[in-house]
Amino acid sequence: MKVALVHDWLVTLRGGERVLEALCELFPGADIYTLIHQPGTMPPLIEDRRIYTSFLQDIPGIHTRYRHFLPLFPRAIESFRLEGYELVLSSSHCVAKGIRTPPGARHLGYIHAPMRYMWDLFDDYFGPGRASVPVRTAARAVRPWLQRWDRRTAAGVDRFVANSQHIAGKIHRFWGRDAHVVHPPVDLERFCAAPLEGTGQGGYFLWLGAFAPYKRLDIALEAFRTLDAELWVVGTGQEASKLTSGALPPHIRFLGNVPDAELPALYRDARALLFTGEEDFGITPLEAQATGRPLIAYAKGGVLETVTPRTGLFFSEQTPEALATAVRQFEAWEHAFVPAEARAQAQRFSRQAFLRGMQAEVEALLGSPAVR
């Protein structure tokens, strides 16, 4: 069976690209179609494939400025011709699920999220203080058209798989379609390798992720201005200059991007991982739990499926004040925390569980009639 894997873009290695990597393992002969690709940024399982890119690849500087070309993404994804493929499997958080499939081919759409910046998180990206007036004006103008395109192209997918119940709910709300759930793969082995004894000895709280608006690093920074505790921040991203430009107290440290090999130790020595955003699923909470560390997490989104009240302390309002209160409560809460319970919780979300789940979804799709 000839298989095409479709992914939005291949520029940075994050959770979505780890899903694509696992799909490459499941379909070793599949080709990859993507809007743009920056060679050398992906693991060998992806880089060694035939990778086809769209016309956007030829735009100078596209790999750092691709977000500016969002209105062209639908046209770019629809420009691919997939004649000869029998199965199309899209991995989509933007437009990948909108690819046109040839007659007779089946399309399985794995959804990390509907376009969050055009649906429920529009203000997080384009609200006052988040973007300039011209950018906000342009985003408001294009939003209705992109939403219509997003709904229309959902009809071209035969079967949807969501990365969480949280996203399955959005798929039903925005597109009127049902979705099965297969949680994404988490590379747990290197986080489970160290013993659980002696964890949390670094004394700091850890925030780790891309500096994207919806991840709300700003909440952690503001909360820790008022707290007598260390905060270590790992990552960078589109809001880096904004978040690091002001004067911050010395107990807040920015570490920048940290090599993957150093992450297990950073998790292991932290008192807790701070998780301040509303995530579609969230891999870092599972990495932290695999090392035997708890979370202080905003109680919304996929984290409610991966963290339990015994492995994390939740706060219900997405404000610095609510987070600061939770950090103060943590000292009493952590006495009942059991690192082994956190590791056991993380191990429910293994790579093998993902591969088994996706194999079952493909088999169910191929044994069912097309929706188109």
The partner residues of 272 in beta bridges, in order of sequence, read: 205
Sequential pLDDT tens for the chain (372 residues): 999 999 999 999 888 999 999 999 999 999 999 999 999 999 999 999 999 999 999 999 999 999 889 999 999 999 999 999 999 999 999 999 999 999 999 999 999 999 887 877 777 778 777 777 887 888 888 889 999 999 999 999 999 999 999 999 999 999 999 999 999 998 888 999 989 998 999 999 999 998 888 899 999 999 999 999 999 999 988 788 888 877 789 999 999 999 989 999 999 999 999 999 988 888 899 999 999 999 999 999 989 999 999 999 999 999 999 999 999 999 999 999 999 999 999 999 988 999 999 999 999 999 976 655
Provide the token pair at 328.
């103060």
Domain ranges, ordered by start, for the chain: 3-185+351-367, 188-348
Q: How far is CA 196 from CA 64, 298, 356, in A?
A: 40, 25, 28
User: Would you state the pLDDT for residue 280?
Assistant: 83
| 8 Å CB contact between 139 and 126 | yes
Q: How far is CA 92 from CA 157, 170, 360, in A?
A: 12, 14, 19
User: Would you state the pLDDT for residue 213?
Assistant: 85
The partner residues of 37 in beta bridges, in order of sequence, read: 10
DSSP characters over 186-250: ---HHHHSS-STTTTTT-EEEEES---GGG-HHHHHHHHHS-SSEEEEE---TTHHHHHSS---T
User: Would you state the pLDDT for residue 371?
Assistant: 58
DSSP characters over 100-144: PPPTT-EEEEEES-S-TTTTTTHHHHHSBTTB-HHHHHHHHHHHH
Regarding the domain with residue range 188-348, which homologous superfamily does it belong to in the CATH classification? Glycogen Phosphorylase B; (3.40.50.2000)
User: Would you state the pLDDT for residue 255?
Assistant: 94
User: Would you state the pLDDT for residue 370?
Assistant: 65
| 8 Å CB contact between 186 and 350 | yes
Q: Going by CATH, does the domain composed of 3-185+351-367 fall within 3.40.50.720?
A: no
